[in-house]
């Protein structure tokens, strides 16, 4: 009887499949003479990468037997990149490789190369059965996309007309040819390839911010001259806004970012440009930044909730803001406490204090779950893509709702707001410039 009961009990338990736990790699799986150099700037020519590696390993480079820089991928997303972001250096002895691993090559990362002991697997034969499976999977994905599209269209209909329209703007050109080293975002200092579409957009973004600063109204009339302003660039990254903007206007800029490596590169560019007296840095979470004495908050492509935090920081101090958001879908990511070198969720994630939708206007129409769906849809128009596609156009509509929600939140707190479209961003989704100025109490 006991045996029968035990068998019945076991049969009712959930089926437990065998679990394979990955074991640490043995020393034999690492090449003793090869080192991988990663985190290399994609927009440096391979020849320049080789030269920089030679300098970094100059004490042991005479023992290098080969140096291979990974080529860039050929996908549309990687257009303009000049290398694949890593290189492999092989030495003639284990001692030389071990010595090279001790080098300080920041921001590059060094690691041993893992040898692939398994033979290269050939692609499975494309049998009639596999073709049917592929077609079934493609049809299933198409049905899922269609259902998602209908859901988003229903939400957009529920929201109706947005209260803040996207208006075109004119910008004043900056004479980039006269910029010192490290200033132009379309240069080696900025990490972009001159003439690439991304470099053109970065230049235009700086010009848009400079143009808007010249039109902002400040509480202290003595700070009307741009050179007298003290600005905060929240989520500054490596300085593609802070550095050229400070050079072009003469303003003092506080560059704030949670990533120490990004600020190290920013400071290197600041020194190259001779802007040490105008630009200061703070390795800090936007949640904890001190804006005492700041005249306006700027933020260029701070991901996800970071754009909302930048806007909130400005509103708390009752000072103007100029913000160009990106990566809308990351507002759905939860923030975690990973320190100043944490992952992307640390900078883009949503702290519990932030509530979506932001504004009373949108909360009256959709709930948090529906907002998250719109935020995901907005990401479909958040990068370079086929601007004529149905998904891109749907994403643009969703993004307009999200950005209007942000501005309505500021308007409900006594701000005059405007949403402008930056020029030279054709076929690109990150065109919006959100501008807010506190209303003057008469």
36 pairs with which residues across the strands? 88, 111
HEC readout, 172-185: CCCCHHHCCCCCCC
CA 138/CA 41 separation, integer angstroms: 36
Q: What is the DSSP-derived secondary structure letter of residue 439?
A: P
Q: What is the DSSP-derived secondary structure letter of residue 389?
A: S
Q: Taking the CA atoms of the chain, what radius of gyration do you get in angstroms?
A: 26
Position 153 pLDDT exceeds 70: yes
- How many other C-beta atoms can be found within 10 angstroms of the C-beta atom of residue 68? 13
Confidence at residue 382, expressed as pLDDT on a 0 to 100 scale: 56
Position 140 pLDDT exceeds 80: yes
Tokens of 95: 């001692």
Position 343 pLDDT exceeds 60: no
Lowest mean pLDDT, pick from 43-47, 146-150, 313-317: 43-47
Confidence at residue 9, expressed as pLDDT on a 0 to 100 scale: 35
Averaged pLDDT for residues 336-341: 47
Side-chain-side CA neighbours of residue 178 (13 Å): 5
CB 101 within 8 A of CB 35: yes
Averaged pLDDT for residues 161-174: 90
* pLDDT > 70 fraction of the chain, expressed in percent and rounded: 80
CA 436/CA 217 separation, integer angstroms: 10
433 pairs with which residues across the strands? 420
Confidence at residue 42, expressed as pLDDT on a 0 to 100 scale: 81
Mean of the per-residue pLDDT values for the chain? 82
Averaged pLDDT for residues 191-198: 66
- How many other C-beta atoms can be found within 10 angstroms of the C-beta atom of residue 91? 24
**E strands along 278-391, which residues?**
279-283, 296-303, 321-326
Distance between first and last Cα of the chain: 90
Contacts of 372 (CB under 8 A, 6+ apart): 331, 332, 356
Bigger pLDDT: 156 or 14?
156
Averaged pLDDT for residues 388-415: 91
Bigger pLDDT: 256 or 337?
256
CA 307/CA 286 separation, integer angstroms: 10
| CA-based nearest residue to 424, from 179, 195, 192, 246 | 195
Averaged pLDDT for residues 14-18: 35
CB 362 within 8 A of CB 159: yes
Which residue in this structure is represented by tokens 């700070």? Answer: 223
pLDDT confidence tier of residue 13, bands split at 50, 70 and 90: very low
CB 184 within 8 A of CB 203: yes
Bigger pLDDT: 353 or 345?
353
pLDDT tens string 78-89 = 777 888 889 999
CA 248/CA 184 separation, integer angstroms: 10
Confidence at residue 387, expressed as pLDDT on a 0 to 100 scale: 59
Domains and CATH numbers, the chain: 28-114 (3.30.70.330), 148-438 (3.40.50.150)
Bigger pLDDT: 403 or 201?
403
CA 403/CA 393 separation, integer angstroms: 15
Confidence at residue 23, expressed as pLDDT on a 0 to 100 scale: 39
Buried b (16+ CB within 10 A) or exposed e, 279-318: bebbbbbbeebebeebbbbbbbbbbbbbbbbbbbbbbebe
CB 159 within 8 A of CB 366: yes
Averaged pLDDT for residues 271-277: 93
| CA-based nearest residue to 243, from 183, 180, 187 | 183
Bigger pLDDT: 124 or 156?
156
CA 125/CA 108 separation, integer angstroms: 40
Highest mean pLDDT among 137-146, 219-228, 326-335, 407-416: 407-416
Which residue in this structure is represented by tokens 């690439």? Answer: 196
Bigger pLDDT: 407 or 151?
407
Beta-strand pair 252-257/279-283? parallel
Position 188 pLDDT exceeds 60: no
Averaged pLDDT for residues 363-375: 93
Q: Is 379 helix (H, G, I), strand (E, B) or coil?
A: helix
Averaged pLDDT for residues 94-119: 78
Position 366 pLDDT exceeds 90: yes
pLDDT confidence tier of residue 376, bands split at 50, 70 and 90: confident
CA 349/CA 342 separation, integer angstroms: 11
Category of 424 on φ-ψ map: left (φ > 0), alpha (ψ -120 to 50) or beta: left
CA 216/CA 210 separation, integer angstroms: 10
**CA dihedral for 24, 26, 31, 35, sign (positive or negative):** positive
Averaged pLDDT for residues 168-177: 89
CA 346/CA 355 separation, integer angstroms: 17
Phi/psi of residue 347, nearest 5 degrees: -90, -40
| CA-based nearest residue to 270, from 245, 243, 246 | 243
pLDDT tens string 49-67 = 898 898 888 888 888 999 9
- How many other C-beta atoms can be found within 10 angstroms of the C-beta atom of residue 127? 9
Position 337 pLDDT exceeds 60: no
CA 188/CA 56 separation, integer angstroms: 18
């Amino acid at each position: 009887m006991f045996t029968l009961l035990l068998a019945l009990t076991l049969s009712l338990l959930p089926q437990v499949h065998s679990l394979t736990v990955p074991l640490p790699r043995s020393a034999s799986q690492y090449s003793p003479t090869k080192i991988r150099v990663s985190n290399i700037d994609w927009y440096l020519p391979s020849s320049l990468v080789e030269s920089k590696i030679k300098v970094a390993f100059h004490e042991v480079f005479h023992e290098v037997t080969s140096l291979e820089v990974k080529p860039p991928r050929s996908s549309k997303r990687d257009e303009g990149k000049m290398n694949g972001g890593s290189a492999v250096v092989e030495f003639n002895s284990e001692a030389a490789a071990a010595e090279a691993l001790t080098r300080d090559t920041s921001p590059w990362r060094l690691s041993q190369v893992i040898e692939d002991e398994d033979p290269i697997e050939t692609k499975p034969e494309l049998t009639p059965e596999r073709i049917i499976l592929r077609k079934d999977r493609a049809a299933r994905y198409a049905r899922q996309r269609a259902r998602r599209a209908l859901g988003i269209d229903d939400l957009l209909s529920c929201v109706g007309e947005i209260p803040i329209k996207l208006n075109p703007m004119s910008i004043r050109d900056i004479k980039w040819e006269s910029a010192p080293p490290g200033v132009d975002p379309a240069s080696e200092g900025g990490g972009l390839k001159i003439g690439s579409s991304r470099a053109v957009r970065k230049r235009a973004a700086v010009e848009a911010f400079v143009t808007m600063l010249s039109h902002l109204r400040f509480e202290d009339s003595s700070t009307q001259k741009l050179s007298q302003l003290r600005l905060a660039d929240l989520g500054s990254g490596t300085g593609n806004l802070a550095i050229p903007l400070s050079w072009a206007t003469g303003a003092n800029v506080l560059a704030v970012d949670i990533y120490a490596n990004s600020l190290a590169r920013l400071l290197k560019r600041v020194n190259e440009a001779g802007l040490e007296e105008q630009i200061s840095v703070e390795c800090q979470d936007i949640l904890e930044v001190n804006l005492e004495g700041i005249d306006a908050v700027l933020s260029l492509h701070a991901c996800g909730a970071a754009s909302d935090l930048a806007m909130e920081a400005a509103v708390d101090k009752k000072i103007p803001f100029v913000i160009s958001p990106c990566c809308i879908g990351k507002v759905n990511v939860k923030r975690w406490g990973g320190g100043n070198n944490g992952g992307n969720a640390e900078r883009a994630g949503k702290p519990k204090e932030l509530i979506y939708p932001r504004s009373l206007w949108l909360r009256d129409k959709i709930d948090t779950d529906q907002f998250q769906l719109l935020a995901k849809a907005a990401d479909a128009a958040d990068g370079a893509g086929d601007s004529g596609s149905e998904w891109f156009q749907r994403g643009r509509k969703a993004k307009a709702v999200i950005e209007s929600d942000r501005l309505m939140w500021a308007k409900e707190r006594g701000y005059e707001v405007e949403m402008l479209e930056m020029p030279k961003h054709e076929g690109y989704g990150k065109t919006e410039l959100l501008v807010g100025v506190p209303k003057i109490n008469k």
